[in-house]
């Protein structure tokens, strides 16, 4: 630095102006948590059955499987992609498990095949998107039909039933007291994905790609490899969800998990993940899953039918995004 | 040019602020028929903001706009049009998927009976006006995405002229043009001037301003600094007004010890972009790459950096032959690239500064794949300080920084990887003079430390002022190489345009 | 433009080939009367796909069309039950559909919410509303008047009214998209929103207009659907939005906006319609349809991407001649 005056050079820039704690307090996640707590309190007043631990545990089944996929989907959406084929992957994975059961394979093989099918479907999506550079939204609309379509070809209007006893544990078993296998899996996966997204190099790359994929590539990041891995992850979590769901239902039909892709995306967006990519967090998705679970459960206790709940979820999805924007407009 | 009578446009005491920061602070500008006013000032000086107020993209917080002696309100692009104001934006505002005629009439289509579009009439009109403005234009029925920068520009200008614009605002109109096209543009501007149009011409290039402007107006930090006739001003005086302090030495090139070869490229070729590219780069050397826009310089550099793949040739870094097919491999080999297009390829906007800096160095700052924020801050602090970055904090979004400071973040990002070769593609294009000097200074320092530097630049003073050696490219090939006394503006330009006889 | 045309030509060729293959085994399939039947059967898909097309042209997507269709269809059936005359019913369902589309469009325009989020939400809300209105009850054929059911099925010049409506909508769209300022605006907004704004076109308003058009068509199709199948309940046309998007994608409408044609879109819908109708004829289980449609989508996007993929700049002189 030859010419600039000394106080101009190398001036100290503070690391942070706002502490992470303060930032967290003002975050979307904090707001959502508040909503969740409010719903929880309201529910516990509305129905005497709500606070029963076993009831709460039962209620968790309505979101754990979707939440598993939502974790991976959150990372994928943060990276600027989307996978609409997840529910169809469940259908195909479950169908493969059913076929393996008919062939007389043991439980561990069924589980392995379910997971492998998920991975294979994810790899197929990943290849088309990351390998051939096709837009993920249309690719996965295509594979959404293709994967479930294969299920229909194999099963028609039939069903696989009579899964072995051993499989039941994944969807119906309890690890300890009221904590079901699925609930524990949900917690473990939340931690695993939380660490992966927020504490590893890989997670950092996901954010970089979501904010500006070109600049990420110009920074030496193997963008396509990251994208491919993300599709593998949604495939794998869909495979896991397929194992849990098949075990819980004890049967496979090609129409299994129909419409789940939209519920998963709703969960992710509700959790504060920008559908345009670049921002969002796993804690947000965890809270969103809990909020959606609580709403569904609370209304269920009040005998509100499922379709009405879906209206509320839909309104919640739009409302949480629209209200802050409306507020801004009104203030201006 | 004598400024008598009523000005065509008067901006009176305009102020515009964004989030409490005054982008334009009580500024007044006037413009008379038949004159070209060159608007000067570095990035962030408020030029773009001010013209957006005239084109209806922004509304002024206070102040008045007068057209032809009458006070008017311009609150959207339609209003601007109704006052015959047209803007030729930096990134030309054409719909790529539509053809010339559709673009020309976009939003103001000619309709036939029944209110349906009259495509035949629109095309005929387009042919007529293009014949007047740019007789060489032939590409009528193809999407404008297939046109060159100059052709697209002439469509944009034709649109303005056709709709009888009296006031034309040109925001860095030559940025994407070739040498020949720039001269065609100058001729066009002369024609428009002769027709009595008033033109506001924004540019960073002094030669351009001196070539076509009648009057200058300088802004600095959102404030009006001065205005006057071109004839009465010198380049140095303008620079001083823009910077606010005397810049005695713009090119702080220090003599460096040229060491061993670091990068040897031989026979590099690509099917459509370049051919027979071979050169050697040494430690401590700044190698300039000069050429006209579109000569293939950036393309060669991006191939070296693993963005595109060369179809033939070899690349040796140090003593090893390297096959570079991805950017990750380039970084590994010690070759890094500061791109020309900062907005799209440089900084990752949305991520904080420190994360931008550490992005290619994560392997070093992390442990077993897990981030260590303290290490990241340390690394970011070290390099941003070295580059004299101006920012509120290191976890501020890089997108909030000025262009010059974003550029510093990108350079810091690469230096943190401890590269052997750094390629800077138009490193000072579109950044303010203060940052420009800092970048030059720093480049010099890096070379002195033994780094090998390639600088792609279209500004002759910069190339001559900073380089130890200059390679000139033309039409995808190396046209010439100059060193020492042979490095003259005439030689560079001749090689770039392919003249062997008289100087251009 | 030649490139676009050739894309449509290839799709047309694929459709002809498909028909030829089916015809070699079952000539009756290509008899005019049967083709008219297939066309009529595909009409709702064509109508909705055209509406979807203008939405996609503006860089948006409308996932709520099937729910809109179902809601409008239910309202039509209920009004019919209440003795409202058919012309008024038609007017109301079109207005209702347009209003539902406007809700989507306004949220995209005024609040700047991404269309995929908006329509994901409204899709569940619209469908849920049917349940709130009916308590989940069905309206069956015997609860509908004959006039209500007969209109789309009435045969005029060998083609049922429903088919004629599709023809009219196709013609209308050909004019709208190619010969009106609004049509041009759809392309401009999708091609370069900045350019559109600069030329005085409001991006949000144009997108909103696309949603209104898409919604109005969905509402109209709602009546056609309910009248033709003579039943209305919550889940009619469930998942149909994906068929609609699929028809657009196969028809070469670029999901990134700004590119696509009416002809392509119609052929995309016809392709799916022909597959659906041909499968049972050639003795393939209808359960194959989904997988075939999925594969067709993938082939279509791979094909479109290959044609429009980014090439390097042409700088070398001799490369210019080769290109």
Nearest-10 crossing angle of helices C2-25, C289-308: 150
In this complex, is the C-beta atom of C204 within 8 Å of any C-beta atom belonging to chain B? no
Lowest-pLDDT choice from B135-139, B424-428, B473-477, B491-495: B135-139
Whether B381 sits inside 8 A of A11 (CB atoms) is no
Q: Where does the pLDDT of residue A3 fall: very low under 50, low under 70, confident under 90, or very high at 90 and above? A: very low
Contact criterion met (CB below 8 Å) for B306 and B328: yes
Would you state the pLDDT for residue C128?
A: 93
Q: Taking Cα atoms as reference points, which of A115, A152, A76 lies closest to residue A237?
A: A115
Would you state the pLDDT for residue A211?
A: 95
For residues C271, C272, C275, C278, the Cα torsion angle rounded to the nearest 10 degrees is -90
The alpha-carbon gap from C129 to the nearest alpha carbon of chain A, in Å, equals: 8
Residue C314 resides in a domain: no
For the residues C142-170, what does the mean pLDDT come to? Answer: 93
Contact criterion met (CB below 8 Å) for B284 and B421: no
The alpha-carbon gap from C178 to the nearest alpha carbon of chain A, in Å, equals: 26
Would you state the pLDDT for residue B86?
A: 86
Nearest to B93 among C198, C258, C315 (CB): C198
Q: Where does the pLDDT of residue A11 fall: very low under 50, low under 70, confident under 90, or very high at 90 and above? A: low
Nearest-10 crossing angle of helices C65-81, C203-229: 50
Residues on chain C touching B76 (C-beta within 8 angstroms)? 200
Q: What is the CATH number of domain B261-340+404-497?
A: 3.40.50.300
Whether A201 sits inside 8 A of B337 (CB atoms) is no
Which chains contact A through at least 3 pairs of Cβ atoms less than 8 Å apart?
B, C
Whether C316 sits inside 8 A of B476 (CB atoms) is yes
Would you state the pLDDT for residue A8?
A: 39
Burial class of residue C138, CB neighbours in 10 A (0-12, 13-18, 19+) = middle
Q: Where does the pLDDT of residue B493 fall: very low under 50, low under 70, confident under 90, or very high at 90 and above? A: confident
Name the percent of chain B lying above pLDDT 70: 93
Nearest-10 crossing angle of helices A282-301, A181-199: 150
Q: Which residues contact B384 (CB under 8 A, 6 or more apart)?
A: A13, B353, B357, B391, B394, B408, B409, B412
Residue C318 resides in a domain: no
For the residues B307-317, what does the mean pLDDT come to? Answer: 92
The alpha-carbon gap from A190 to the nearest alpha carbon of chain B, in Å, equals: 17
In this complex, is the C-beta atom of A188 within 8 Å of any C-beta atom belonging to chain C? no
Q: Which CA distances in Å does A11 have to B351, B442, C98?
A: 22, 16, 59
For the residues B239-248, what does the mean pLDDT come to? Answer: 62
Q: Where does the pLDDT of residue A1 fall: very low under 50, low under 70, confident under 90, or very high at 90 and above? A: very low
Q: Are strands B469-474 and B286-291 parallel, antiparallel or unpaired?
A: parallel
Q: How far apart are CA C311 and CA A105, in angstroms?
A: 50
Does residue A92 surpass a pLDDT of 90? yes
Would you state the pLDDT for residue A65?
A: 95
pLDDT tens figures, C33-56: 999 999 999 999 999 999 999 999
Which chains contact C through at least 3 pairs of Cβ atoms less than 8 Å apart?
A, B
- Report which listed range, A223-237, B114-128, B386-400, is most confident: A223-237
Nearest to A146 among C107, C132, C298 (CB): C298
Average pLDDT, chain B: 86
Q: How far apart are CA B291 and CA C154, in angstroms?
A: 72
The alpha-carbon gap from A142 to the nearest alpha carbon of chain C, in Å, equals: 4
Chain B residue closest in CA terms to C178: B117
Lowest-pLDDT choice from A319-323, B218-222, B251-255, B491-495: B251-255
Average pLDDT, chain A: 90
Determine the 3-state secondary structure of B66 from DSSP: strand
Chain C residue closest in CA terms to A154: C287
Does residue B139 surpass a pLDDT of 50? yes
Chain B residue closest in CA terms to C259: B97
Q: Which residues contact A240 (CB under 8 A, 6 or more apart)?
A: A68, A114, A115, A118, A185
Q: Which residues contact B346 (CB under 8 A, 6 or more apart)?
A: A215, A218, B338, B339, B406, B407, B410
Termini Cα distance of chain C: 17
Q: What is the CATH number of domain B9-243?
A: 3.40.50.300
Would you state the pLDDT for residue A171?
A: 85
Which tokens hold the place of B42? 């570095």
Contact criterion met (CB below 8 Å) for B137 and B154: yes
Does residue C4 surpass a pLDDT of 60? no
Would you state the pLDDT for residue B290?
A: 92
pLDDT tens figures, C11-37: 999 999 999 999 998 899 999 999 999
Which three-class secondary structure string do you get for B163-229?
CCCCEEEEECCCCCCCHHHHHHHHHHHHHHHHCCCEEEEECCCHHHHHHHCCEEEEEECCEEEEEEE
For the residues B431-458, what does the mean pLDDT come to? Answer: 86
Would you state the pLDDT for residue C60?
A: 95
Q: Which CA distances in Å does B33 have to B10, B166, B198?
A: 12, 8, 5
Whether C128 sits inside 8 A of A146 (CB atoms) is no
Whether B272 sits inside 8 A of C188 (CB atoms) is no
Interface A:C, Cβ pairs < 8 A: 139
Would you state the pLDDT for residue C307?
A: 56
For the residues A175-186, what does the mean pLDDT come to? Answer: 91
Whether B391 sits inside 8 A of A13 (CB atoms) is yes
Q: How far apart are CA A198 and CA A200, in angstroms?
A: 6
Residues on chain A touching C305 (C-beta within 8 angstroms)? 132-134
Would you state the pLDDT for residue B397?
A: 92
Q: Which residues contact C171 (CB under 8 A, 6 or more apart)?
A: none
Would you state the pLDDT for residue B195?
A: 87
pLDDT tens figures, C84-136: 999 999 999 999 999 999 999 999 999 999 998 899 899 999 999 999 999 88
The alpha-carbon gap from C151 to the nearest alpha carbon of chain A, in Å, equals: 32
Burial class of residue B329, CB neighbours in 10 A (0-12, 13-18, 19+) = middle
Termini Cα distance of chain A: 46
- List the CATH number of the domain containing C88: 1.10.3470
Whether A276 sits inside 8 A of C305 (CB atoms) is no
Domain range spanning residue C93? Answer: 2-308
Average pLDDT, chain C: 90
Chain C residue closest in CA terms to A276: C114
Q: Where does the pLDDT of residue B91 fall: very low under 50, low under 70, confident under 90, or very high at 90 and above? A: low
Whether A214 sits inside 8 A of B355 (CB atoms) is no
Q: Where does the pLDDT of residue C5 fall: very low under 50, low under 70, confident under 90, or very high at 90 and above? A: low
Chain C residue closest in CA terms to A133: C305
Q: What pTM did the predictor assign?
A: 0.85
**Spacing of C-alpha C132 from chain mean position:** 27
Lowest-pLDDT choice from A231-240, B62-71, C300-309: C300-309
- All structural domains of chain B with their residue ranges: 9-243, 261-340+404-497
Q: Taking Cα atoms as reference points, which of A38, A46, A35 lies closest to residue A299?
A: A46
Interface test with A, best of C60, C121, C279, C305 (most A CBs within 10 A): C121
Residue C29 resides in a domain: yes
- All structural domains of chain A with their residue ranges: 50-327
Would you state the pLDDT for residue C62?
A: 96
Q: Where does the pLDDT of residue C318 fall: very low under 50, low under 70, confident under 90, or very high at 90 and above? A: low
For the residues B258-283, what does the mean pLDDT come to? Answer: 93
Q: How far apart are CA A282 and CA A271, in angstroms?
A: 8
Whether B252 sits inside 8 A of A2 (CB atoms) is yes
Whether A221 sits inside 8 A of B388 (CB atoms) is no
pLDDT tens figures, C132-152: 999 889 999 999 999 999 999
Which tokens hold the place of A100? 């393996």
In this complex, is the C-beta atom of C181 within 8 Å of any C-beta atom belonging to chain B? yes
The alpha-carbon gap from B369 to the nearest alpha carbon of chain A, in Å, equals: 5
The ipTM estimated for the assembled molecules is: 0.85
Residue C313 resides in a domain: no
Residues on chain C touching B142 (C-beta within 8 angstroms)? 1
pLDDT tens figures, B153-172: 888 888 888 888 889 998 87
Nearest to A15 among B389, B395, B445 (CB): B395
Whether B76 sits inside 8 A of C191 (CB atoms) is no
Would you state the pLDDT for residue C309?
A: 47
How many domains does one find in chain C? 1
Nearest to A138 among C132, C255, C285 (CB): C255
Nearest to B349 among A8, A14, A212 (CB): A212
Whether C198 sits inside 8 A of B87 (CB atoms) is yes
Nearest-10 crossing angle of helices A306-331, A260-270: 30
pLDDT tens figures, C278-303: 988 888 888 898 899 899 889 988 88
Would you state the pLDDT for residue A7?
A: 37
Name the residue with higher pLDDT: A173 or B452.
B452
Residue C35 resides in a domain: yes
Would you state the pLDDT for residue A301?
A: 83
Does residue A300 surpass a pLDDT of 80? yes
Whether A218 sits inside 8 A of B413 (CB atoms) is no
For residues A211, A214, A216, A222, the Cα torsion angle rounded to the nearest 10 degrees is 130
For the residues B365-392, what does the mean pLDDT come to? Answer: 91
The DSSP code for B342 is: I
Residue C107 resides in a domain: yes
The alpha-carbon gap from C310 to the nearest alpha carbon of chain B, in Å, equals: 12
Look at the domain A50-327 and name its fold.
ABC transporter involved in vitamin B12 uptake, BtuC (1.10.3470)
Sign of the torsion formed by the C-alpha atoms of A49, A52, A58 and A62: positive
Determine the 3-state secondary structure of B117 from DSSP: strand
């Amino acid at each position: 630095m030859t010419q600039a005056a000394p106080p101009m050079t190398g001036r100290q820039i503070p690391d942070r102006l706002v502490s992470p704690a303060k930032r967290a307090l003002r975050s979307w996640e904090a707001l959502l948590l508040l909503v969740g707590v409010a719903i929880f309190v309201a529910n516990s007043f509305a129905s005497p059955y709500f606070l029963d631990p076993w009831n709460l545990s039962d209620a968790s089944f309505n979101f754990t499987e979707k939440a598993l996929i939502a974790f991976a989907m959150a990372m994928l959406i943060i990276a600027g992609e989307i996978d609409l084929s997840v529910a169809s992957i469940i259908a195909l994975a479950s169908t493969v498990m059913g076929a393996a059961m008919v062939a007389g394979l043991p439980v561990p093989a069924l589980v392995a095949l379910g997971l492998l099918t998920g991975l294979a479907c994810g790899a197929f999506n990943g290849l088309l998107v990351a390998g051939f550079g096709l837009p993920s939204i249309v690719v996965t609309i295509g594979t959404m039909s293709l994967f479930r379509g294969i299920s229909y070809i194999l099963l028609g209007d039939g069903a696989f039933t009579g899964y072995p006893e051993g499989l039941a544990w994944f969807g119906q078993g309890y690890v300890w007291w009221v904590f079901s296998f699925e609930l524990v899996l949900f917690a473990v996966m939340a931690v695993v994905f939380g660490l992966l997204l927020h504490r590893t190099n890989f997670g950092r790359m996901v954010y970089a790609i979501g904010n500006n994929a070109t600049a990420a590539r110009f920074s030496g990041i193997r963008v396509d490899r990251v994208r491919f891995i993300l599709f593998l992850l949604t495939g794998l979590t869909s495979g896991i969800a397929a194992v849990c769901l098949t075990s819980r239902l004890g049967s496979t039909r090609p129409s299994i998990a129909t419409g789940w892709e939209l519920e998963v995306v709703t969960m992710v967006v509700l959790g504060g993940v920008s559908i345009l990519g670049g921002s969002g967090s796993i804690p947000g998705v965890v809270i969103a899953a809990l909020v959606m679970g609580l709403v569904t459960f609370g209304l269920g206790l009040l005998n509100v039918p499922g379709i009405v709940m879906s209206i509320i979820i839909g309104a919640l999805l739009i409302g949480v995004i629209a209200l802050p924007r409306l507020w801004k407009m009104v203030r201006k | 040019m004598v400024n008598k009578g009523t000005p065509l446009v008067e901006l009176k005491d305009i102020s515009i602020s964004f989030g409490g920061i005054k982008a334009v602070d009580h500024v007044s500008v006037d413009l008379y028929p038949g004159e070209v006013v060159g608007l000067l000032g570095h990035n962030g000086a408020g030029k773009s903001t001010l013209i957006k107020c005239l084109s209806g993209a922004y509304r002024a917080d206070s102040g008045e706009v007068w057209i032809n002696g009458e006070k008017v309100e311009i609150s959207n692009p339609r209003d601007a049009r109704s006052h015959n104001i047209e803007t030729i934006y930096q990134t030309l505002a054409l719909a790529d998927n539509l053809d010339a005629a559709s673009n020309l009439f976009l939003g103001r289509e000619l309709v036939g009976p029944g209110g349906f579009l009259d495509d035949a009439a629109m095309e005929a009109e387009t042919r007529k006006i293009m014949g007047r403005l740019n007789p060489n234009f032939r590409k009528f029925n193809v999407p404008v995405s297939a046109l060159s920068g100059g052709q697209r520009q002439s469509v944009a200008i034709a649109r303005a002229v056709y709709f009888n614009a009296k006031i034309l605002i040109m925001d860095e109109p030559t940025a994407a043009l070739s040498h020949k096209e720039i001269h065609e543009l100058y001729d066009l501007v002369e024609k428009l001037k002769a027709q009595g149009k008033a033109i506001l011409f924004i540019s960073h290039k002094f030669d351009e301003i001196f070539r076509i402007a009648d009057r200058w107006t300088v802004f600095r930090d959102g404030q009006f600094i001065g205005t006057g006739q071109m004839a009465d001003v010198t380049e140095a005086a303008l620079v001083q007004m823009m910077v606010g302090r005397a810049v005695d030495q713009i090119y702080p090139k220090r003599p460096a010890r040229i060491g061993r070869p670091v990068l040897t490229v031989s026979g590099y070729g690509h099917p459509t972009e370049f051919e027979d590219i071979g050169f050697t780069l040494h430690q401590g050397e700044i190698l300039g790459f000069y050429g006209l826009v579109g000569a293939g310089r950036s393309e060669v550099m991006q191939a070296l950096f693993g963005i595109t793949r060369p179809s033939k040739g070899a690349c040796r870094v140090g003593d090893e032959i390297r096959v570079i097919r991805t950017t990750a491999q380039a970084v590994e080999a010690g070759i890094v690239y500061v791109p020309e297009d900062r907005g799209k390829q440089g900084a990752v906007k949305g991520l904080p500064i420190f994360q931008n800096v550490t992005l290619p160095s994560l392997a070093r700052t992390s442990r077993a794949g897990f981030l260590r924020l303290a290490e990241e801050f340390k690394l970011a602090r070290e390099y941003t300080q070295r580059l004299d970055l101006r920012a509120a904090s290191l976890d501020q979004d890089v997108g909030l920084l000025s262009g010059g400071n974003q550029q510093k973040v990108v350079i810091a990002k690469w230096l943190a990887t401890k590269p052997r070769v750094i390629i800077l593609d138009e490193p000072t294009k579109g950044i303010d003079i203060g940052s420009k000097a800092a970048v030059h200074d720093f480049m010099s320092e890096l070379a002195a430390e033994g780094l090998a530097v390639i600088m792609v630049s279209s500004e002759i003073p910069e190339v001559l002022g900073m380089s130890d050696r200059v390679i000139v490219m033309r039409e995808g090939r190396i046209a010439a190489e100059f060193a020492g006394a042979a490095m003259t503006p005439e030689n560079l330009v001749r090689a770039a345009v392919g003249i062997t006889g008289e100087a251009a | 433009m030649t490139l676009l045309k050739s894309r449509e030509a290839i799709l047309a060729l694929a459709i002809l080939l498909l028909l030829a293959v089916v015809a070699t085994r079952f000539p009756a399939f290509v008899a005019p009367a049967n083709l008219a039947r297939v066309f009529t059967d595909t009409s709702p898909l064509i109508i909705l796909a055209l509406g979807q097309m203008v939405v996609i042209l503006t860089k948006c997507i409308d996932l709520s069309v099937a729910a809109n269709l179902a809601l409008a269809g239910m309202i039509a059936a209920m009004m019919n039950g209440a003795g409202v005359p058919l012309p008024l019913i038609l007017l109301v369902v079109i207005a209702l559909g347009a209003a539902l589309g406007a809700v989507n469009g306004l949220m995209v325009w005024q609040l700047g919410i991404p269309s995929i989020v908006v329509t994901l939400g409204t899709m569940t809300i619209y469908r849920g509303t049917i349940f709130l209105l009916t308590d989940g009850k069905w309206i069956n054929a015997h609860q509908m008047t004959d006039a209500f059911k007969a209109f789309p099925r009435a045969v005029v010049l060998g083609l049922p009214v429903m088919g004629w409506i599709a023809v009219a909508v196709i013609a209308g769209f050909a004019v709208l998209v190619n010969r009106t300022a609004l049509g041009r605006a759809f392309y401009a907004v999708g091609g370069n929103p900045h350019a559109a704004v600069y030329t005085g076109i409001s991006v949000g308003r144009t997108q909103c207009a696309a949603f209104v058009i898409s919604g109005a068509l969905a509402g109209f199709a709602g009546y056609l659907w309910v009248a033709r199948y003579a039943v209305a309940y919550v889940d009619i046309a469930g998942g149909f939005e994906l068929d609609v998007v699929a028809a657009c994608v196969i028809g070469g409408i670029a999901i990134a906006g700004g590119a696509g044609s009416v002809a392509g879109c119609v052929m995309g819908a016809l392709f799916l319609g022909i597959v659906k109708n041909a499968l049972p004829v050639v003795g393939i289980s209808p359960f194959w349809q989904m997988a075939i449609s999925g594969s067709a989508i993938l082939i279509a996007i791979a094909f479109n991407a290959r044609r429009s993929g980014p090439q390097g700049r042409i700088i070398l002189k001799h490369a210019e001649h080769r290109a």
